[in-house]
Amino acid sequence: MKVLEAIAFFGVEIVFFLLVFLFLVFEKTLSIFGALAALVALSLLVGRFPVLHQFLKRGFSAYKIPSILLGLLFILVLPILLKERPYHIFILFNAGLFALLALGLNWQIGSTNIVNFATGASFATGAYTAALLAVHLEWPFWVLLPISGLAAATIGFILGLPCMKTKTYYLSLVTMAFTIIVYLILNNLDFTGGPDGISGIPFPSLGFHSFGSPIRLWGLEIPFQANFYYLVVVLVAITFLVDQRFRYSRIGLAWNAIRNDEIAASCQGIDILYYKVLSFSANFFFDGISGALFAFSMGHISPESFSFNVSVTVVAIVIVGGLDNPVGVLLGSFLMIIIPEKFQVFQDYRMLIFGLIILLMLRLRPKGLFPPSVRTYG
């Protein structure tokens, strides 16, 4: 019986990965749609029947390490399977960049209920910091990665303080204005290249291996996009671990308290200002890192990439994926970034499909794909 259960559990996991893979490689609209429908059906089935949910949960707690290893293996092997399709590796990388942004934003929208639309601005801060220092001062990528994060975190701190004077919709308005101001400034400043932006950002390198050259392993040649893909996987993993630390600490608890009731929170001795500014800075730090990685992967950046649309997309990812649930947010970034790319046929209707997904989500799962889980103190 136990063996059968294990086989069934890993079977479900493998079917899930297979569907994700098929969804990625299919090229005809109908077959893409089929794979996507199967994925949605699978998740709806699990949501609909608690027995299935319980079964998967039991399976996961019994085979935690092997099932995570299987997932990691899938993530690592994916670029090899997609080596004939570099563009697909690139959109996966892009989904990773957005996962970094969304995991950070989740600390604000999900954990603390600060609906922040400044992601475009913080993403830009990281990207421009990295680009300017790389082009003019030729600083290496690995140094610029944390520096861009710190630069964005500083901006977050500076923006966070005046934001604390406002709440709810007004706070959101302030952050929207901030994104638009940054966009306009970047368009009009000379040293940021105005609307043309900055080009000639060199590829990063690790030892003797340049990120611009393909990975050659055992006679295999994986396109150069895989370099960035693997890097973003590592960064997303780190951010996920940081998320877990925040979540299961006094900080995550305090954020949740503020989300529910600020007055009651302050009466428990929680310093509202400190924890709110902390959530701003932490979020912006990872936005900055994501921005730097974006700049180095593109080689060229311009203000167009940092418009208000970025902020809206990331907010949508968090809402669709699941407020205050990092696993949901990861899945959300995958779906919200890859789906529009896969339906290139409907190029003109991309925003329409985007809107349709959000509407469907709000109708079927108003709390997002994954509701927040309950903390246990083992």
Partner 1 sequence: MSLNGPILKTERLTITFGGLCAVDQVDFEVGRGEMVGLIGPNGSGKSTFFNLITGIYRPTSGTILFEGENLVGQKPHEIARKGIARTFQNNRLFSDISVLDNIILGMHAHQTSGLFDTFFRYRNVKAELKTGAQEAMELLSFFSRELQESCLKRVMDLPHADRRRVEICRALAAKPKLLLLDEPAGGMSPEETEELMQDIRKVKETRRDLSLVVIEHDMAVIEKIAQRVYVFNYGKKIAEGPFSLISKDPKVIEAYLGEEGEDAAA
Q: Which of 83, 88, 259, 342 binds partner 1 (CB under 8 A)?
A: 259
Question: Distance (Å, rounded) from C-alpha 318 to C-alpha 338?
Answer: 15
Question: Distance (Å, rounded) from C-alpha 77 to C-alpha 28?
Answer: 24
Q: Which stretch binds partner 1 (CB under 8 A): 41-49, 101-109, 264-272, 305-313?
A: 264-272
Work out the burial of residue 268: count CB atoms within 10 Å of its CB; fewer than 13 is exposed, 13-18 middle, 19 or more buried: exposed
Q: Which of 57, 58, 64, 250 binds partner 1 (CB under 8 A)?
A: 250
By CB under 8 A, tell whether 40 contacts partner 1.
no
Residue 301 phi, psi dihedral angles, 5° rounding:
-130, 150
Where b means 16+ CB within 10 Å and e means fewer, 18-52 reads ebbbbbbebeeeeebeebbebbeeeeeebeeeeee
CB 271 → partner 1: shortest distance, Å?
5
Cα distances from 218 to residues 84, 215, 229, 267, 275, in angstroms, run: 17, 10, 19, 62, 50
By CB under 8 A, tell whether 58 contacts partner 1.
no
Q: Which of 133, 182, 134, 137 is nearest to 156 (CA)?
A: 182
Q: Provide the mask over 210-249, with x wherever binding to partner 1 is found by CB under 8 A and - wherever it is not.
A: --------------------------------x--xx-xx
Q: Tell me if residue 343 falls in helix, strand or coil.
A: coil
Q: Which of 15, 264, 356, 360 binds partner 1 (CB under 8 A)?
A: 264
Taking residue 114's Cβ as centre, other Cβ atoms within 10 Å add up to 25
By CB under 8 A, tell whether 109 contacts partner 1.
no
Which residue shows structure tokens 């469907």? 360
By CB under 8 A, tell whether 254 contacts partner 1.
yes
By CB under 8 A, tell whether 167 contacts partner 1.
no
By CB under 8 A, tell whether 260 contacts partner 1.
yes
Cα distances from 375 to residues 55, 248, 249, 328, 365, in angstroms, run: 20, 7, 10, 16, 22
Which residue shows structure tokens 């609909």? 48
Beta bridge partners of 209: 206
Q: Which of 43, 154, 213, 266 binds partner 1 (CB under 8 A)?
A: 266
CB 106 → partner 1: shortest distance, Å?
15
Size of the site for partner 1 (CB under 8 A): 31
Q: Which stretch binds partner 1 (CB under 8 A): 53-61, 95-103, 202-210, 253-261?
A: 253-261
In this complex, which beta carbon is closest to partner 1, that of residue 15 or of residue 161?
161
In this complex, which beta carbon is closest to partner 1, that of residue 261 or of residue 304?
261
- Contacting partner 1 within 275-314 (CB under 8 A): 278
Q: Which of 117, 104, 103, 105 is nearest to 168 (CA)?
A: 117
Q: Provide the mask over 314-353, with x wherever binding to partner 1 is found by CB under 8 A and - wherever it is not.
A: ----------------------------------------
Q: Which of 130, 171, 270, 292 binds partner 1 (CB under 8 A)?
A: 270
Q: Which of 271, 345, 356, 359 binds partner 1 (CB under 8 A)?
A: 271
Residue type at position 268? Q
- Which residues would be at the binding site for partner 1 (CB under 8 A)? 242, 245-246, 248-251, 253-254, 256-257, 259-261, 263-272, 278, 372, 374-378
